[in-house]
A and B are shown apart, each in its own frame.
Chain A
Amino acid sequence: MTALLDGLALGLSAAALIATGVVLVATRRPTAALPVLLEFLTAAGLVRLAAEPTWSRLLGAAAVVAARRLLVGGLGAGGRAAPTAAVPPAARRTA
C-alpha cells in the first residue's frame, strides 16, 4: 500500500511539472502557472501523507502548505500593487 501511494505521489509530482509547463507555454504568465504547480504538489503531499506518516513527510507537506500560503499572499499583493499584470497578453499586445 505504501509503495503504491509513494508511486502515485511521484506520478503526481511529474504531472505537476508537465501541467505547469503546459500552462506556462499557453499563457506565458508564471503567475498563472505557479498555482497549478502548487495544487499538484499539494495533492502529491497529501497522497504521501496517507501512506506512512513520518515526521519528515509531515515536514514536507507542511512546507508545501506554507509555500502555498506565502505565494498566494505574495501574488495577491503583487496583483493589487500592479493591476496591469491582470491584463491578458493578447490585450497587452493590441494596446
Chain B
Amino acid sequence: MSSSAAGLAIDVLPENVLRDVVDVLVRLVEAAGAAIIVAGAVVAFVQFLRVGLGRRRSEREFVSIRLKLGRFLTLGLEFQLAGDLLRTAISPSFNEIGQLAAIAAIRTALNYFLSREIAKERAEVDAASDAAPRQSAS
C-alpha cells in the first residue's frame, strides 16, 4: 500500500523536477532580497550625498538615513532567509547543508542585531526630537 503511494508520488512529482522548481524559486527569492538591499543602499547613498553636500548637515539626518538603510537590509535579509529555508528542501550533500547552516546562522544573527540596533537608535532619535521642542519652549 505504502510502496504504491510512494510510486505514485514519484510519478506525479519526480525528484529532479522538484529540485529544478525549488532551484528557480530560491534564485527568484534571493534575487529579490539582493535587489532590495541594493535599492536601499543606492537610495541611502544618494541621500547621504544630498545631506552631506547640502546646507542642512545635522547628525540626526545621517542617523535617520542609516536607519532607513538598516530597514532595507533587514527586509532583504528576510527574503534571503526565506531562500535558505527553501534550499533546505533540496540540499543533498553534507557540505552544502553545512554551508547553508552557516549562511542561515550569519543572516539570522545579523537580522537580530540589526533589528535591535534600529529599535535602539529609533528610540534615541525619538527621544532627541521630543527633547528639542521642550528646550526651545523653555
Contacts and interface: CB of A to CB of B under 8 A. Distances in A.
B34 A36 contact: no
Interface stretch (B1-9, B15-23, B42-50): B42-50
Given A50-B30, A50-B80, A53-B103, A26 B57 contact: yes
B103 A35 contact: no
A59 B113 CA distance: 18
Interface string A19-55: 1001101110100100110011011001101100111
B99 interface: yes
Interface residues of A, number: 35
Given A22-B48, A65-B109, A12 B41 contact: yes
Interface residues of B, number: 41
Nearest to A47: B34
Nearest to B124: A86
A73 to B, nearest CB: 10
A43 B76 CA distance: 9
Contact of B62 (A23, A54, A68, A69): A23
8 contacts: A32-B63, A43-B73, A46-B33, A55-B99, A58-B106, A61-B106, A65-B106, A88-B58
